[in-house]
Structure 1
Amino acid sequence: MSDDLIEYECVDNKVVTVRNRILDTVTTNGVKCVWTGAITNNRTTVMMSFNFDWNELKDQGVDTLEGRLSLQALAEFDPIPGEFHIDLKLSDPNQLVEKKLENEIWCEERFLIWKFSLKPYRLWIENFERMFAPSDKNDGVLVVEGKKLNINKAFLSYHSDFFQALFSTNMIEGKLEEIPIKDVSFKDFGQLLSVIHPDTVFPDGESRLWVSQIIAVKKKFPDKTSEKLLELADRFMMPAVIKIVEYHLLNNSKIENENLMWMADRYEMEMLLEKMIRELDNVVKAKMLKESPRFMDLSDKAKAKILDKIMLII
């Protein structure tokens, strides 16, 4: 999608009366807005609400919409002309914005036109551009989908055997000033690297996790992102990312047990696999696992552990 302004302007007057009702419904460029309003409190107040639905844009990676909504009463139709503005910052893809206009007295009817202008923002792009901006701590550039990520080769090599080999003088890519990374999206790759980005250290029991990693576990990658992170961490040989995703799946995930078991087996997350097998504590669960599409994809080693567990419960 384009990140150009999303604009709408109605072409005819909408009549606000003492009866609360839908005044207008519009859908434009992935944004749906339902405008409802009424004159209340003995004609001293106009109450209006604007219900914005932009789930379509959210699914396309937009994080917020910001802009302005304007209402105008024209003198030729309305004895009390004027213009009113509402500044908008929409972070919820189903967000209700309410506006109350008060005066000494209104007419029984108000004739209004309205318009809005919204700018989409993708905060993950802003975060990645800040996180991987040029600095004296960086000595390499990776290029993904035409966008540059400035990285520290030694740090990235420490976390990834793939990049350690890539940056070696024996590889052609290691001699390039800018190294292209193919077959991955900028968003997915940026999120992968952001998980290990060295902001600040936070002690967590016996392990030490970056604050940015803890935030990522709790907020930044939902269940739908976990499998993609695991796939890329496996491809680029980044075991720390797998450990962090495992922490999320152990503590915060709502993914079905059968899929969690497959992910644990596929990406060698032993603690998660042990937890999933422990939770296989009755015959009904065992039967559901056996009938799931993921069961046949499990390794022989995992199936043997599952069989041992089933033998204990039958």
Structure 2
Amino acid sequence: MTTKVITYKSGQKTVNSGTTAILLESGQKDGIKYTWSAHVDTSYRANFTWNIDWEDLRNQGVNRLVGHLIVNSVSRFWNPVKIDIDCTNSNQTVFAMIGNNTTAYNVTFEYNLTAHYAGSPPPEKISYDKMFAPSDKTDVVLIIEGKKLHVNKMFLSIHSDYFSTLFSSNFKEGQMKEIELKEVSYNDFGLLCSSFYPNPQFPNDQTVEKLLEMASRSQVSSVIGIVEYHLLNNSRIGYEKMLWLADEYVMPNLLKKCISQMDTSEKARKLKKSPEFEKLSVNTRSLILGRLLEFI
């Protein structure tokens, strides 16, 4: 079994007296979404509630989250309080009642959690600096975020219609030795290239969405095909997001599979309530409706 450590520390918040809890903070980091609420009751105790949603990690192969929360009083009304967490439910609620001194507390919280993978974790990042180092096989330099990437025109042109056009004689860039690319990050471009050069890295559930976005922008159809194969055969991404990816990035085999899996009214209701539903195309919504009509 393999693991990944995820840590976070909040800013200072004030908890006041009241009959119901108010939201102090919400956010997400590394596959964990959380909300933090609190109020001070009539006994001057601070009542804290955290909701921890790690469904995204579940979709990446995590089957257990272990660690602790620590709640701190900025004015030292109490020593740091540690709350242990060990959960297999991907939506966990944690409660704590602390203090008995005043009607308002200034507080912070932090967590240190270890995600345990049932299978293999996402692969370690390869060195993009090494991948884009100059060699006798490179003949042009791309400049991204101030960094120089030494690449081969022909190789990129074979894989990408975008670069095939960019390097053609019809554009001034085709004659330039250095070309600056804007509106793309160094890491995102490295991720895209690493899927086909020099030693192709297979996609995983953490990288598929960014790979699809980059492959669509750069017109690298082979990468979309590789990602579709992963989503069809290896992925644990949830149904609603899987359907949206198939629709958004035109993966017909994946879309066909997703439509065939729409086989209950409960699944349809869950899809309609999801944020992905509003992003689906009219054509895909029609296919879903047609599928549901088969059960009437």
With normalisation by structure 2, the TM-score equals: 0.57
The 5-angstrom pairing of residues 174-189 of structure 1 reads: 174-189=174-189
Please give the residue correspondences for 1:208-247 in structure 2 after superposition, counting only pairs within 5 Å: 212-213=200-201, 216-217=202-203, 222-247=204-229
Counterparts of 2:235 and 2:147, CA distance in 1? 32
Report SS of the residue matched to 1:223. Answer: coil
In structure 2, the residue matched to 1:251 is: 233
Uncovered stretches (5+) of structure 1, i.e. residues with no partner: 1-51, 60-92, 96-122, 200-211
Q: How far apart are residue 55 of structure 1 and its match? A: 4.2
The aligned residue for residue 191 of structure 2 is 191
Q: Quickly say closer, same or farther: Cα 1:94–1:296, change in 2 above 3 A.
A: closer
Higher relative contact order (CA 8 A, sep 6+): 2
Q: What does 1:98-137 align with in structure 2 at a 5 Å threshold?
A: 124=125, 127-137=127-137
Equivalent residue of 1:136, what SS? coil
Q: Distance in 2 between matches of 1:307 and 1:185?
A: 39
TM score, norm. by length of structure 1: 0.54
Aligned pairs for 1:1-314 (under 5 A) are: 55=7, 124=125, 127-199=127-199, 212-213=200-201, 216-217=202-203, 222-314=204-296
2:143 aligned counterpart, secondary structure: strand
RMSD after superposition: 2.5
Code of the aligned partner of 2:234: N
Shift of 1:237: 0.7
CA contact (8 A) 2:139 2:177 kept: no
Identity %: 49
Structure 1 residues 54 and 227, CA gap change in structure 2 (3 angstroms): closer
String of CA shifts for 1:231-268, please: whole Å, max 9, x gaps.
11111111111111112222222222111111101100
| Cα distance in 1 between the residues matched to 2:139 and 2:257 | 42
Length, aligned pairs only? 184
Kept in 1: contact 2:134–2:150 (CA 8 A): yes
- Matching residue's letter, 1:146: G
1:130 Cα deviation from its structure 2 partner = 2.0
Instruction: For 1:141 and 1:313, locate their aligned partners in 2 and report how far apart those are by CA, in whole Å.
Output: 57
Counterpart CA distance in 1 for 2:225 and 2:280 is: 20
- Give unpaired runs (5+ residues) of structure 2: 9-28, 31-112, 116-123
SS at 1:224 equivalent: coil
- For residues 181-219 of structure 1, the C-alpha deviation after alignment (integer angstroms, 9 at most, x for no partner) is 1112111110101101144xxxxxxxxxxxx24xx23xx
Q: Is the 8 A contact 1:140 1:150 kept in 2?
A: yes
Which 4+ runs in 1 deviate beyond 3 A? 52-56
Deviations 1:50-105 (A, max 9, x none): xx96646x96xxxxxxxxxxxxxxxxxxxxxxxxxxxxxxxxx959xxxxxxxxxx
Q: Which amino acid aligns with 2:210?
A: K
Q: Secondary structure at the match of 1:308?
A: helix
**CA offsets 1:160-198 (integer angstroms, 9 cap, x no match):** 111011111221222221111111211111010110114
CA contact (8 A) 2:138 2:152 kept: yes
* 8 Å Cα contact 2:247/2:284 also seen in 1: yes
